[in-house]
């Protein structure tokens, strides 16, 4: 069963320097029907103006990853990490017992467009850690490349939860199929472009809750970039 969440139905915020769309309830956007899905708590689609960003702020007991679509995002944290994240890079910060970080547009002239996504961990109070890896367009073209997993398999980043995240690029005749385990849920988010999921047309910003399906097929993309989350079969996130 596929349950579509249209892009236009998301929460929206415009702070001038920041334009953001919220798939699930976040900050001032509160929707009782959209409180996350399985262990997936936040999908924020953020556009930050040149030279602007988020000052240092704390997190704990959350798996937070950033996925840059356009531009460059500068990250600094209290673990001593400093990096610039560009398209193809995936950054995963496990906040654990507590960490503070800042995120700024690295460019003084161009905007940055990125997704920030939160996954609830299976343990609380763990040691904070930072990971970053690059996945090329060739690795994602016409296929679903594993980018995040519990065990770091196939060069993916390690998340503290029974969740797997795949990224793919689809255009023209590109087609990929993902087989889910029995009784698994999934969530599909179209980061840009358009694509068909099991024959259903999706546009940029659309999301789909997936239940009681074992095969997911992505096809007929038009400059599409897609994230697929393989998740535990539960409706809402639960803090450990």
| Residue 236 belongs to some domain of the structure | no
Domain-located, residue 237: no
pLDDT tens figures, 92-136: 989 899 988 788 788 889 999 999 999 999 999 999 999 999 999
Between the two ends of the chain, the Cα-to-Cα distance in Å is 28
- What pLDDT band is residue 154 in, cutting at 50, 70 and 90? very high
Q: What's the rounded mean pLDDT across residues 172-189?
A: 96
Average pLDDT value for the chain: 94
Q: Which of 8, 77, 15 is nearest to 47 (CA)?
A: 15
Question: Is 112 contained in some domain?
Answer: yes
Least confident of 75-79, 95-99, 201-205: 75-79
Q: pTM score, two decimals? A: 0.96
In this prediction, residue 48 carries a pLDDT of 94
Q: Is the pLDDT of residue 139 over 90?
A: yes
Range of weakest confidence among 19-33, 90-104, 223-237: 90-104
Place of tokens 């989350």: 229
Q: 95 is in which domain, residue-wise?
A: 2-231
The total domain count for the chain is 1
Which CATH number goes with the domain that contains 67? 2.60.120.10
> Around 130, how many Cα atoms within 13 Å sit in the side-chain half-sphere?
15
With respect to residue 105, please indicate whether it lies within any of the assigned structural domains. yes
Average pLDDT of the segment spanning 12-18: 93
The pLDDT score that the predictor gives to residue 81 is 82
pLDDT confidence tier of residue 83, bands split at 50, 70 and 90: confident
- Tell me what pLDDT residue 102 has: 80
Alpha-carbon dihedral 174, 175, 180, 186, rounded to 10 degrees: 60
**Residue 224's pLDDT band (cuts 50, 70, 90):** very high
Helix (H) or strand (E) holding 139: helix 137-140
pLDDT at res. 104: 76
90 inside domain: yes
Q: Specify if 61 maps to a domain.
A: yes
**Amino acid 16: pLDDT:** 92
CA distance 109 to 123: 41
Residue pointed to by tokens 């255009």: 171
Domain annotation covers residue 99: yes
Question: What local confidence, expressed as pLDDT, does residue 25 receive?
Answer: 96
108: left (phi over 0), alpha (psi -120 to 50) or beta: alpha
Q: Is residue 239 part of a domain?
A: no
What's the sign of the alpha-carbon dihedral 126, 131, 137, 138?
negative
Q: How confident is the model at residue 39 (pLDDT cuts 50, 70, 90)?
A: very high
The Cα–Cα gap between 150 and 156 comes to 9
pLDDT confidence bin for 64, thresholds 50/70/90: very high
């Amino acid at each position: 069963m596929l349950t579509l969440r249209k892009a236009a139905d998301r929460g929206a915020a415009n702070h001038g320097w920041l334009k953001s769309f919220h798939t699930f309830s976040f900050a001032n956007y509160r929707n009782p029907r959209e409180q996350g899905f399985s262990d997936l708590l936040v999908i924020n689609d953020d556009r930050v103006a040149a030279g602007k960003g988020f000052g240092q702020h704390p997190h704990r007991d959350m798996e937070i990853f950033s996925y840059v679509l356009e531009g460059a995002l500068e990250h600094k944290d209290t673990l001593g990490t400093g990096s610039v994240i560009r398209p193809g890079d995936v950054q995963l910060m496990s906040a654990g017992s507590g960490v503070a970080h800042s995120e700024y547009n690295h460019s003084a002239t161009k905007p940055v467009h990125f997704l920030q996504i939160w996954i609830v961990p299976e343990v609380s109070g763990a040691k904070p850690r930072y990971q970053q890896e690059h996945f090329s367009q060739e690795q994602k073209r016409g296929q679903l490349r594993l980018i995040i997993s519990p065990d770091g398999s196939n060069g993916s980043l390690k998340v503290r939860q029974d969740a797997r995240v795949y990224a793919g690029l689809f255009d023209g005749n590109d087609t990929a199929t993902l087989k889910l385990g029995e009784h698994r849920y999934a969530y599909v988010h179209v980061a840009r472009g358009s694509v068909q999921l099991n024959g259903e047309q999706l546009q940029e910003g659309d999301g789909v809750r997936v239940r009681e399906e074992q095969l997911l097929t992505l096809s007929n993309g038009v400059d599409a970039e897609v994230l697929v989350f393989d998740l535990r079969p539960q409706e809402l996130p639960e803090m450990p």
